A = this chain, B = another copy of it.
């Protein structure tokens, strides 16, 4: 049996119809988690899933599960999914693509009359973005046992509403029981420039980078820019600038997809003719290996001590986030690669620099991801853009990899 192919037009139209919910004037989407707009998106997905013959239920944190039975009901389902919530100024594809691609896989199998041994599920995880409620990856984190449900339900947004209240308000506090996952596949736009720059359609995702985030305070001494000789200064911004260069150097000189970013900086007193007495900035370090992350941190700490002495300042680094590297299941990653090859698609191995729901699923089930290019690597932005061709290609890869895992029943 030759594998069926997905319907490019149907996938695109579904994405565009979904994107009307929370559409922004600039062509993006603002659909914050557990809002009325999120409810509309959930309702639409639920309707489409039922129309595709699936049974829909949701759990206590609002994760939505749409199930297509398998011929061997005792097997754990092969799950596809992502999320329907968006950033405050988000795009049409981040999250939505993974859910709609899962739905399109099911629709395609229905049209082709293909049944699978294992059941299939399409999932939308609650609050991946973390824009309204922290933490990010909330629904998948609860599902994977990373976050205690009771604590997460009490998290509150800026207006004081709790997750529990918001779930109840939109009618998506459910009681689906936790269940085993046989395998988890997530299709997603890359959110980076690698595929586009390499003119490659499919990213075979090996795993996700670990992250270590720091808040840094440099304490020097305010001084007048005019009367204070260079050698008498304790310039906090000079020291902070040297640290920025070190973060860059450490990241570029380490292996394992090492990345280092200073994204935020505040200068005090921030006056044109005053030598800055205090600078606060952030460091975001990433790498595919924990040992590399540790080596980067150790090197930065050493350099901070040297800069302290040179600039006569104090540098305090405080770790605020640690997120371990995650490695996807080799057999699933291999099936994604094989699917791309068999479909004649350009493909390359890639790592996810950002966290995804797949990162938490990987803790409880064999997991893989499929990346497709997005224009300019831009995401979390209303201008986020991807082509129907690339989205369809990723969905075809997803279909083949899912079939390989779930087992097509020859009829």
Interface of A with B (CB < 8 Å)? Answer: 190-194, 197, 209, 211, 213, 222-232, 235, 237-238, 240-242, 244-245, 248, 251-252, 257-267, 270-276, 282, 284, 286, 352-355, 377, 379-381
A131 and B397 CA atoms in complex are apart in Å by 66
Tell me the nearest residue of chain B to A238, going by C-beta: B248
Query: Is B248's CB under 8 angstroms from A245's CB?
Result: no
With A224-B353, A224-B380, A225-B261 known as contacts, the answer to whether A197 contacts B232 (CB < 8 A) is yes
Known: A224-B354, A225-B261. 8 other contacts (CB 8 A): A192-B232, A193-B223, A223-B377, A225-B284, A228-B259, A241-B241, A241-B242, A263-B272
Residues of B within 8 A of A251 (CB): 230
CB of B377 within 8 A of CB of A228, answer: yes
Q: Which 6 A-B pairs have the closest CB atoms?
A: A192-B227, A226-B353, A227-B353, A241-B241, A225-B261, A241-B244
B192, B238, B270: the one within 8 Å of A224 (CB): B192
Min Cβ gap A151→B in Å is 23
Q: How far apart are A201's CB and chain B's nearest CB, in angstroms? A: 17
Chain B positions within 8 Å of A377 at CB level: 223-224, 227-228, 232
Q: How far is the CB of A208 from chain B (nearest CB, A)?
A: 8
A282 to B272, CA, bound (A): 6
**Cβ contact within 8 Å between A193 and B232:** yes
- Which of B229, B264, B352 interacts with A267 by CB under 8 Å? B264
- Tell me which of B240, B265, B286 contacts A226 (CB under 8 A): B286
Contacting pair B275 A263 (CB below 8 A): yes
Interface pair B265/A229, CB less than 8 Å apart: no
Q: How many copies does the complex hold?
A: 2
* In contact, A209 and B226 (Cβ under 8 angstroms): yes
Contacts of A354 in B (CB 8 A): 224, 226-227
Task: Determine how close the nearest CB of chain B comes to the CB of A262; give it in whole angstroms.
Answer: 6
For the complex formed, measure the closest distance between the CB of A298 and the CB atoms of chain B, giving whole angstroms: 19
Q: In the complex, are the beta carbons of B232 and A194 less than 8 A apart?
A: yes
> Which of A197, A227, A235, A241 has the most chain B CB within a 10 Å cutoff?
A227
Chain B residues whose CB sits within 8 angstroms of the CB of A257 once the complex forms: 229
| Cα–Cα, bound, A377→B252 (Å) | 41
* Cβ–Cβ < 8 Å partners of A191 in chain B: 224, 226-227
The docked-state distance in angstroms from the alpha carbon of A271 to that of B264 is 5
A241 near B230 with CB under 8 A, answer no
- Check if A244 sits within 8 Å of B238, measured CB to CB: yes
Q: Judging by beta carbons under 8 Å apart, are A230 and B252 in contact? A: yes
Give Cα A273 to B354, complex, Å: 10
Question: Bound complex: CA of A293 vs CA of B179, how far in Å?
Answer: 72
A273: chain B residues within 8 A (beta carbon): 213, 261, 263, 284
Question: A224-B353, A226-B192, A226-B286 known; A263 and B276 CB under 8 Å?
Answer: yes
Residues of B close to A266: CB separation below 8 A: 270
Chain B hits for A227, CB < 8 A: 190-194, 352-354, 377, 379
Q: Which residues of B contact A241 (CB under 8 A)?
A: 240-242, 244-245, 262
Instruction: Return chain B residues, CB-CB under 8 Å to A211.
Output: 226
Q: Which of A238, A244, A276 has the most CB of B within 10 A?
A: A244
- A276: B residues at CB distance < 8 A: 262-263
A193 lies within 8 A of B263 (CB): no
Contacts of A352 in B (CB 8 A): 226-227
Chain B residues whose CB sits within 8 angstroms of the CB of A223 once the complex forms: 192-193, 377
Q: List 22 A-B contacts (CB under 8 A).
A: A191-B226, A191-B227, A192-B226, A192-B227, A194-B229, A194-B232, A197-B232, A224-B379, A226-B286, A226-B352, A226-B354, A227-B353, A227-B379, A228-B259, A230-B259, A230-B260, A261-B274, A263-B271, A263-B274, A264-B270, A264-B272, A265-B270
